Amino acid sequence: MKNSLLFFLLYALLNLLSRHNSLFAQNLSDSSYFPLSLGSQWTFTSGYSLHTERLADTSNRQGKLYYGLALYLPDPYFWFRDSHDSIYVVYTGSIYSEGKESLLYNFNGNIGDTILLPSYYRGWFGLGIILFGKHDTVITPAGTYTNCFHFLHLGACCDAGIVESWFARGVGRIKYSEENIGGLITHTLSSYNITTGVIHPRANENASSYILFNAYPNPFNPQTTLNFQINEMGIVTITIYNLLGKQIACLLNEQRQPGDYRVNWNAKGFSSGVYYAVLRLNNLEETRKLILLK
């Protein structure tokens, strides 16, 4: 376990700095440091492997809208919501959590502010999160970001949990370090896709007739899922094409009411390569690239 004395000494030091350095008092708060929109995804590299995190679903809990983050599995593991530049989390992976909401990140705080978490988050986010900086510059394969929020996660288990994390405006988390049985591993952002305009599904139904989100997983073998949202009734078709432009599969061809939907494509029997999924609605169309790896 981490040294609790070091925890409180660091906390005291940060509070002292925040009171004496006017630079820290600059207000850079913005909930876009943790953008929540259905279908957004972030791919991280640790130097020898890649993994993708994706906002795969939404859920209304006691009148509040949450976005489900899928980590290594298609189904969400954590549920997040934003309110007044703060991010709240619900973890449903443990019977001990009982679906209770906890404040996780505050992008409207001061340097040294500490958020205390329930014990069942210890193995993921630690027992405390300190806002360490608002002006970090972070270099990643996806780009260089300035004025990044930097958080320290303290009190995690000795062999599990995030140690520190960085967030960039309009992008989200761009870097984080975690401890596991293999030691300290740092993950940096290699690519991302933020689906703008759908922060709250159906909040503005006139913004677009439809949205076809990126497939997940992608690359895939042999099955992937395409999520889409339509804001007007019509005949929806989703077809798959190969690189030669030949239609090889039709996943959907029927009338649908406005709402959120998903279709699966099982590519068993098809060879590895690049394919394209095309959604059509009322003479409009949108395309997504699919990569089948066997």
DSSP-based three-state secondary structure for 120: helix
Average pLDDT for the chain: 78
pLDDT on residue 210? 60
Residue 213 DSSP class: P
Q: How far apart are CA 86 and CA 214, in angstroms?
A: 27
| 277, HSE (Cβ side, Cα atoms, 13 Å) | 29
The answer to whether the bond into 35 is cis (omega within 30° of 0) is: no
DSSP 34-83: S---TT-EEEEE-SS-EEEEEEEEEEEETTEEEEEEESSSSS-SEEEEEE
More confident residue, 289 or 33: 33
The H or E element spanning position 10 is helix 4-20
Domain locations in the chain as residue ranges: 4-193, 210-292
- The first and second tokens of residue 83, run together, are 């309110």
How would residue 15 be classed by pLDDT, with cut points 50, 70 and 90?
Answer: very low
Say if CB 287 and CB 262 are below 8 A apart.
Answer: no
Question: Is residue 114 predicted with pLDDT exceeding 80?
Answer: yes
How far is 135 from 28, CA to CA, in rounded Å? 9
Task: Give all strands of the β-sheet with 223-230 in edge-to-edge order.
Answer: 210-212, 223-230, 259-266
Q: What is the C-alpha separation between 257 and 220, in angstroms, rounded?
A: 29
Q: What backbone phi and psi angles, to 5 degrees, belong to 13? A: -65, -45
Please give the Cα distance from 95 to 186 (Å, whole number): 29
Give me the pLDDT at residue 28, please: 38
pLDDT at position 289 is 80
118-168 residue pLDDT tens: 877 777 888 899 999 999 999 999 999 999 999 999 875 555 688 999 999
Q: What is the pLDDT of residues 194-253, one digit of tens each?
A: 875 433 333 333 335 566 666 778 888 999 988 887 878 889 999 998 877 789 999 999
Burial of 249 (0-12, 13-18, 19+ CB in 10 A): middle
Q: What is the mean pLDDT of residues 44-73?
A: 82
**Side chain identity at residue 159, one-letter code:** D
Residue 270: what pLDDT?
Answer: 93
Domain covering 210-292, topology: Immunoglobulin-like (2.60.40)
Average pLDDT over residues 4-19: 42
**Confidence tier at 92 by pLDDT (50, 70, 90):** low
